[in-house]
Structure 1
Amino acid sequence: MSLLYFLVQQMMLFSIPLLIVALGGMFCERSGVINIALEGIMVLGGFTGILFINLFQEVLPGQPILLIALLISTATGMVISLVHAYASVNMKANQSISGTAINMFAPAFAVFVARVIRNVQQIPFENQFRIEKVPILGDIPVIGEMFFQNAYITTYLGILILAVSCVVLYKTRFGLRLRSCGEHPQAAASVGISVYRMRYMGVLISGALAGIGGLVYVIPTSTSFNASVSGYGFLALAVLIFGQWKPGKIMLAALFFGMMKTISSAYSGIPVLADLGIPSSVYKMIPYLATLIVLAFNTKGSQAPRASGIPYDKGAR
């Protein structure tokens, strides 16, 4: 049972950042804008959050400094996403090129600033954020050991974001307007909805969640940040497509890819896999091979928002 608990805990650590970032991409594409820049926004969100922790970790205790760092990463993601929003909405630029430019800029900028401020490329931090056991909940048989021991507050944040996303997207006027702008912006505009405003909101939400996702990815998996999130932004796009732009299916897709990532990183701790004698490089390819296979069989039935990636023209009918 201890092996099962370990695998579930590891899967959650890998799945939660994918879930958060994919939900951000969902809001963006539901508004009609493709956000290829998720990877770059994750890098910058993780960078500013980790830099803050590095500078103040001796002054503030564990959980409060993590919460402040999450707010900083959120703000960073929103600021960077404004560049993508302006290019995509106001300038009607190619959204893929705009996103790719941010992806190219982000790691170089993070490395440059890290060297200027700390004279090193990798920013170290002390991981003091693991919760050994949540009071009361951690004592529940099986469930307590799986989800409320050796956990991070970011895991519960991801679940909260999922619940809020479901409510906002399907149970609020804002969600209805956002979806209408991604399906038929001209029809939405005809009833007084500001398509520009809704698309800006979608991109900003996407940036906020991607910024959070960058920090959420780094905290449990490392003790330093080197301007990389290991392609998680692109993997989140695969989760988004596999999840059919719907929160519930995105959650299932994130859990699937999280399990693939767990197998690739913790195979040596699984006796059955460790005894096979397969080279480690093969296991490391598993998440990306799974991505290719899943998308190859899933793309045919995918139903992206109809106006996603198409610049809105007020004069078009």
Structure 2
Amino acid sequence: MDVSTAVVHGDVPLQPDVGLLACTDASALDMKQYKKDREALLASRARNATQMLVNAIFQLPITRHPEVGPLATLPAFVTPLPREKPLPKPKPLTKWEKFARKKGIANKKKERLVYDEATQQWVPRWGFGGKNKEIENQWLVEVPNNADDDFRPDKDAQRKRKDARLKNEAQRLRNLARNAPEAAAETRSTGPARSALGSGIAPRAQRRANLEAQLHRAQASTASMGRFDKKLDGEAKPRGQKRTFQPNEIDTGRERASNLALLAKIGDGRGDVNLRKAIKYASGSQGSKALAQKGEQRAAKRKR
């Protein structure tokens, strides 16, 4: 039997959506038949929905392909699909993009690969083995006549490449600070969350605070947590709690007084001493009962 001419048995309210290749059956289940033979009922309803979907597909304009066979062009779907998240907002334009759009300058995207005449191969423009590191990887480089005696072309090219990267990062941060008021306005209009701009802080002060926070995060990303980084003129020190350490060699009286004060805090429960952690450390993770038994054993040995 041809599947395109098969008939769907029963008067069932099926709703096919050929664009999504789906068919919805909104009719209620026959509970008596469901309890009697659930698999047969579900198979019958699935068969009816599939057959109606196939019939709807074969009603579309069909084109014959010599290798694949009959092909049907699906229409646009009509069933609205829910979205888990809201539609993404358009990315704000940078300063250069605004200028280019105003002047009508077309953006020409550079290709990822460039042809290297020396090696007769396609190499990446940047990154590992990139064309921008050509001078740095050369074993012999021509030095200009007016260069200093200690001039090194590889080090100069490496410095220029790093300066360009830092310049791009600085421009990115400035674009973020410039678009901060627009993003804050969208946040106030679309959601309940409020930014610092919505709480009465001036946009200029907010941009400055954002730049300082990003600068501190970048400085703390080094291995020394920014301790040996060069400080800028007028740069504010980051706020935070500083750890204090006692000297290795102190007076015996001071050490005895501090130990007695610590024991007094443990005894009356004052202060910020973590009793559980202290008991766990002293008992070797065995608990307070084991710690008490050890104290009794020590007292018994002393009496002997």
TM-score normalised by the chain length of structure 2 = 0.18
Where relative contact order (Cα < 8 A, 6+ residues apart) is larger, the structure is: 1
